[in-house]
Structure 1
Amino acid sequence: MDPHDEAVSLLASQVKQFYDRKSPFRIYHGSTNSTRQYLYLPDNMIDTSKLSNVLHIDTQNKVALVEPNVPMDKLVEATMPHRLVPPVVMEFPGITVGGGFAGTSGESSSFRHGFFERTVNSIEIILADGKIIKASASENSDIFYGAASSFGTLGVTTLLEIQLIDAKSYVELTYYPVSSIQVAVEKIEQATADSSTDYLDGIFFAKDRGVICIGRLKDSVDDGIRIQRFTRATDPWFYLHAKKLIGKSSSPVTEAIPLVDYLFRYDRGGFWVGAYAFQYFITPFNRITRWALDSYLHTRVMYHALHKSGLAKSYIVQDVAIPYEGAAEFLEYLDEVFGHYPIWLCPLHRSGKSEPTPRGLTALRPDPNAPTMLLNFGVWGPGPTKRQAFVRINRKLEHKVHELKGQKCLYAHAYYTEDEFWAIYDKNEYDLLRQKCNATYLPSIYDKVKVDVEAEERATKASWVSWTSATLWNIWPLGGIYGALHASFRREYLKGRQPKCGLLITLCQNQG
Structure 2
Amino acid sequence: MDTHRFLVREISKSVQSLHEENRAWAIYHGPSHTLKRLPDRATIIRTTDLHNILNINMQCKFALVEPNVTISDLVQKTLNHGLMPIVVPSFPSLTVGGCFAGTAAGSGSSKFGYFDQGVAWVEVVLADGRITRASRTRNVDLLEGLVGSLGTVGIVTLLQVRLVPAARFVEVEYFPIKGVGRLIEVLERAAKDTENDFVEGLMIGVVVVGRLFAKKGKEMVTFSNPHDRWFYMHALEAEKKIEKVRMLDYLFRHDRGAFCLGETCFGRIPFRPWTRWATDSAMREASLIRVVQELQWADHLVMQDVVVPVDAAAEVLDHLDSNMGRFPLALCPVRQWPENSVVMRPNPRSAELCMSITVRGWSDDSIKDAKKFRDQTREVEKKVYELGGIKWLYSRNYYSEEEFWNTYSKEDYDNLRSKYNAGYLPSVYHKSKTPDMPPRSRRAAKVKVKGFWNQVFTWSSVLAVRHRAQKT
Other-structure match for 2:263: 275
Match of 1:218 among 213, 222, 230: 213
Query: d(CA) in 1 for partners of 2:195 and 2:246?
Result: 18
Other-structure match for 1:509: none
1:363 paired to 2:380 = no
Query: d(CA) in 1 for partners of 2:172 and 2:315?
Result: 29
SS at 1:363's partner residue? Answer: coil
Paired amino acid for 1:20 = E
Does structure 2 retain, via aligned residues, the 8 Å contact 1:309–1:484? no
The count of aligned residue pairs is 453
Query: d(CA) in 1 for partners of 2:87 and 2:171?
Result: 17
Paired amino acid for 1:241 = H
Paired amino acid for 1:254 = I
Shift, 1:359, TM fit: 2.2
Other-structure match for 2:442: 471
Question: CA deviation digits over 1:127-161, x for unaligned, max 9?
Answer: 00000001101111111111111100011100000
Other-structure match for 1:72: 71
Does structure 2 retain, via aligned residues, the 8 Å contact 1:201–1:347? yes
Range with bigger deviation, 284-293 or 377-386: 377-386
Paired amino acid for 1:436 = K
Does structure 2 retain, via aligned residues, the 8 Å contact 1:350–1:372? yes
Query: d(CA) in 2 for partners of 1:487 and 1:32?
Result: 18
Other-structure match for 1:349: 335
SS at 1:361's partner residue? Answer: coil
Does structure 1 retain, via aligned residues, the 8 Å contact 2:343–2:412? no
Shift, 1:69, TM fit: 0.3
Question: CA deviation digits over 1:386-432, x for unaligned, max 9?
Answer: 22211111101111112222221112111110001101111111101
Other-structure match for 1:13: 13
Query: d(CA) in 2 for partners of 1:53 and 1:486?
Result: 31
Range with bigger deviation, 397-406 or 93-102: 397-406
Shift, 1:486, TM fit: 8.1
Shift, 1:485, TM fit: 4.0
- What is the root-mean-square deviation in Å for CA atoms of aligned residues? 2.0
Does structure 1 retain, via aligned residues, the 8 Å contact 2:307–2:391? yes
Q: Any gaps of 5 or more consecutive residues in structure 1?
A: 247-251, 461-468, 489-512
**Structure 1 residues 180, 396: closer, same or farther in 2, change over 3 A?**
same
Other-structure match for 1:403: 386
Does structure 2 retain, via aligned residues, the 8 Å contact 1:307–1:483? no
Query: d(CA) in 1 for partners of 2:252 and 2:44?
Result: 31
Other-structure match for 1:482: 449
Other-structure match for 1:376: 356
Match of 2:398 among 415, 419, 422: 415
Shift, 1:443, TM fit: 0.8
Query: d(CA) in 2 for partners of 1:484 and 1:401?
Result: 38
Query: d(CA) in 1 for partners of 2:39 and 2:110?
Result: 35
1:259 paired to 2:230 = no
1:444 paired to 2:427 = yes
1:391 paired to 2:358 = no
Other-structure match for 2:25: 25
Question: CA deviation digits over 1:252-306, x for unaligned, max 9?
Answer: 2110110000010000100001001112xx1111110111110011111111111
Shift, 1:186, TM fit: 1.8
Other-structure match for 2:468: none
Paired amino acid for 2:362 = P
**Structure 1 residues 122, 268: closer, same or farther in 2, change over 3 A?**
same
Shift, 1:361, TM fit: 2.6
Does structure 2 retain, via aligned residues, the 8 Å contact 1:85–1:165? yes
**Structure 1 residues 116, 47: closer, same or farther in 2, change over 3 A?**
same
Other-structure match for 2:279: 293
Other-structure match for 1:186: 185
Other-structure match for 1:145: 144
Other-structure match for 1:428: 411
Matches within 5 A, 1:41-190: 41=41, 43-190=42-189
Paired amino acid for 2:219 = R
Paired amino acid for 2:233 = L
Query: d(CA) in 2 for partners of 1:186 and 1:300?
Result: 33
Runs of 4 or more consecutive aligned structure 1 residues displaced over 6 Å after TM superposition:
none
Paired amino acid for 1:7 = L
Other-structure match for 2:310: 324
SS at 2:325's partner residue? Answer: coil
Bigger relative contact order (CA 8 A; separation at least 6): 1
Does structure 2 retain, via aligned residues, the 8 Å contact 1:270–1:297? yes
Paired amino acid for 1:13 = K
Shift, 1:87, TM fit: 0.9
Query: d(CA) in 1 for partners of 2:360 and 2:343?
Result: 24
Paired amino acid for 1:30 = G
**Structure 1 residues 299, 260: closer, same or farther in 2, change over 3 A?**
same
Other-structure match for 1:228: 221
Shift, 1:62, TM fit: 0.3
Shift, 1:71, TM fit: 0.4
**Structure 1 residues 484, 391: closer, same or farther in 2, change over 3 A?**
farther
TM-score (norm: length of structure 1):
0.85
Matches within 5 A, 1:496-507: none
Q: Percent identity?
A: 36
Does structure 1 retain, via aligned residues, the 8 Å contact 2:63–2:161? yes
Does structure 2 retain, via aligned residues, the 8 Å contact 1:268–1:294? yes
Query: d(CA) in 1 for partners of 2:454 and 2:134?
Result: 38
